[in-house]
Structure 1
């Protein structure tokens, strides 16, 4: 069945999908082994948390700039170059770990470089997809990519990363270096895709190009609504889930094992969403899916604020994660169809800045709110925020044609 699906989507999509799958496995391995490495070097909680921030920071610093360069250069070659740089950086880290010379500063430098590469490679891959997959099969193509992420990055690679770290602390990073090199080799075999219409924009200069992408997104009512809605939804979500481990202990009475079970349930719900997204879109249409998604977000926060029953929380999380994957696939397909080829990098990076910026702000606010009030307060506030977002976005989302 997968072979038939790949054939329908085309050989170029199959190469892009393969490159993404390979690098996703390596990324997941590093995501599991990275915190273990930092914790083996220092026991300072602030320094351990700082490694995560160091990888997220490039999105706040460089997202818009990376989007401009994605529209300037050959996207295929850009992904190849970035993946090779990331492979070299991870190989260097593996050597440093093996020789016991990896310091906190070295780890920070490597993860910051990886995060910077992510802003370029992820944006370029998203911009490439509409050029290598048929327009009427974009939901299916996005679902394949999201499913690969859920299986490879979230479910399979993280246990593998922890296991490899126990065997040899350097092994996970050496494996990730290899996966990036393999991904670069596959991407190098992809045909060159012309980026029509980019030359007139380039004469505006870098900041003029960035402004062009921001203006285009802001003037498009539907895409503006989707971007702002998701930015605010991420503030609400991350504010609530920043304290999720404490919520599980204090509100649901779960052990660490129970907390891990809920995280697994969350990942499984997302995987189910990847298999249903295209089918649901065809059956119900994008406006219904998007509006229903906002209601699910609101209901999730409201139920979690009220319940003290673990199985209720588990059911809600399954539905929420399924919605999250369906929403992501649907919105990505809409954006890829509507944005001109020459602007895909800049518009995509502007969208990502709002998305990840909202997540960063929410994570910061959630801890402060829970510290000042009750553990459920962030969920109540998130429900209130999503009520406002749902009301404001309801009419514009009606224009999201399938």
Structure 2
């Protein structure tokens, strides 16, 4: 892993810090404007709606244009949007919806170009290590450092977290500017639907996508009113809410750093993560009444999520041809992240009618059902005979893709 990788890694970590600050500050800002669960859930809805609308166009752009330049443009746009939000933070909640939508739209580009850039800057046999480090650093910045800092800055001055967030995006852009990547041959007019069609024909990635989409739907349900859950059930202050979000990072950091070793050593690692995640959510719903108890379940859940992410990211990067990686990754994003606005709406409605614990119970039931159905296919793909075979890249085009070690 050379200079380009470390610049990309550093820029990603710094922008993730800004995202973590934003993660805590945005719902706190919404809570100053209204205490209605449906209206607060609307912030999550409009923030996640662009994953449904802009994912495929972003992936097409990533396969057609220079990934580094696209990333730079997105970072500077996010910087400008954060500055606008900081300047007009006291506006109506409808303004907050609009800003959440624009910021979410801009976020599609870094996610789309990230996969091609990682593949271009990291040798194939080091993908697990690179993805593990990336997950760990993002967990530290996005969940451990960012949210408490966002809550603290919000307590000091309402616009402060958004100004700091703008600064993180500017710093990340300056780091990416120093990257030097070679130009890759790209299709003149890549078709938007090709990535989605390829994904649907690849059995392993299709199964992974279904499980990830269900997980994200359930997380969106619980996150939509999480600030009210923290304030009313756990009795947390604004700064305490940031600390609450930070507990999620502890397991994510450990999972990212240990994933490479665990996936190589233990055959059923991926299947175990599928089982444990909804069990941890059930613990939060039934037993958690204070921050320490929540932390225990959240750490295990985030650890499993990080290991799952490392395994599935490496599978995707190896399986997908380079000239399709942007579109296939974005097709996955369309499905796995596009369900979030639905989850946010459901979370707000369920919490409003049945209480703040109800979204957690619904999430546990749904995620458990999908996990049970997907468990056998996942074991087949990540263990046993799948370890020594080559996956077909698509029915029309074979790509020699060996799943390394025991649990890829």
TM-score range, shorter chain: 0.7 to 0.9
Determine the C-alpha separation between the residues in 1 that align with 2:294 and 2:231: 13
Residue 155 of structure 1 corresponds to 144
Determine the C-alpha separation between the residues in 1 that align with 2:284 and 2:159: 40
Contact 2:112 2:329 in 1 (8 A): yes
Residue 95 of structure 1 corresponds to 87
Alpha-carbon shift at residue 228 of structure 1 (Å): 1.8
Residue 127 of structure 1 corresponds to 116
Deviations 1:255-281 (A, max 9, x none): 548998775543312221112111112
Determine the C-alpha separation between the residues in 1 that align with 2:37 and 2:339: 24
Residue 222 of structure 1 corresponds to 204
Determine the C-alpha separation between the residues in 1 that align with 2:37 and 2:282: 31
Residue 17 of structure 2 corresponds to 25
Residue 81 of structure 1 corresponds to 73
Residue 14 of structure 1 corresponds to 6
| 2:380 maps to 1:388 | no
Per the alignment, do residues 308 and 123 of structure 1 end up closer, same or farther by CA in structure 2, a change over 3 Å counting?
closer
| 2:261 maps to 1:295 | no
Superposition pairs of residues 87-236 of structure 1, within 5 angstroms = 87-97=79-89, 102-196=91-185, 198-199=186-187, 202-203=188-189, 209-235=191-217
Determine the C-alpha separation between the residues in 2 that align with 1:305 and 1:51: 23
Alpha-carbon shift at residue 80 of structure 1 (Å): 0.5
Of 43, 47, 50, 1:55 maps to: 47
Determine the C-alpha separation between the residues in 2 that align with 1:47 and 1:313: 25
Alpha-carbon shift at residue 128 of structure 1 (Å): 0.8
| 2:328 maps to 1:347 | yes
Of 222, 247, 257, 1:275 maps to: 257
Alpha-carbon shift at residue 297 of structure 1 (Å): 3.4
**TM-score, structure 2 normalization:** 0.81
Structure 2 residue matching 1:190: 3-state secondary structure: coil
**TM-score, structure 1 normalization:** 0.82
Contact 1:369 1:377 in 2 (8 A): no
Contact 1:71 1:195 in 2 (8 A): no
Stretches of structure 2 lacking an aligned partner (at least 5 in a row): 388-402
Per the alignment, do residues 229 and 149 of structure 1 end up closer, same or farther by CA in structure 2, a change over 3 Å counting?
same
Of 72, 88, 109, 2:64 maps to: 72
Contact 1:232 1:389 in 2 (8 A): no
| 2:338 maps to 1:357 | yes
Structure 2 residue matching 1:395: 3-state secondary structure: helix
Contact 2:87 2:159 in 1 (8 A): yes
Contact 1:127 1:348 in 2 (8 A): no
Contact 1:24 1:152 in 2 (8 A): yes
Per the alignment, do residues 44 and 368 of structure 1 end up closer, same or farther by CA in structure 2, a change over 3 Å counting?
closer
Residue 397 of structure 2 corresponds to none
Per the alignment, do residues 388 and 243 of structure 1 end up closer, same or farther by CA in structure 2, a change over 3 Å counting?
farther
Residue 3 of structure 1 corresponds to none
Residue 38 of structure 1 corresponds to 30
Deviations 1:306-348 (A, max 9, x none): 7689888754443222111111011111111221111111111
Alpha-carbon shift at residue 167 of structure 1 (Å): 2.7
Determine the C-alpha separation between the residues in 2 that align with 1:240 and 1:184: 32
Structure 2 residue matching 1:229: 3-state secondary structure: helix
Deviations 1:48-97 (A, max 9, x none): 33222221111111111111111111000001111112212222333334
Contact 2:28 2:227 in 1 (8 A): no
Contact 1:59 1:115 in 2 (8 A): yes
Determine the C-alpha separation between the residues in 2 that align with 1:180 and 1:249: 30
Deviations 1:220-245 (A, max 9, x none): 22111211222234445555776778
Alpha-carbon shift at residue 386 of structure 1 (Å): 2.0
Give the number of aligned pairs.
Answer: 380
Determine the C-alpha separation between the residues in 2 that align with 1:81 and 1:184: 8
Determine the C-alpha separation between the residues in 1 that align with 2:333 and 2:158: 33
Deviations 1:192-213 (A, max 9, x none): 33233x32xx446xxxx12111
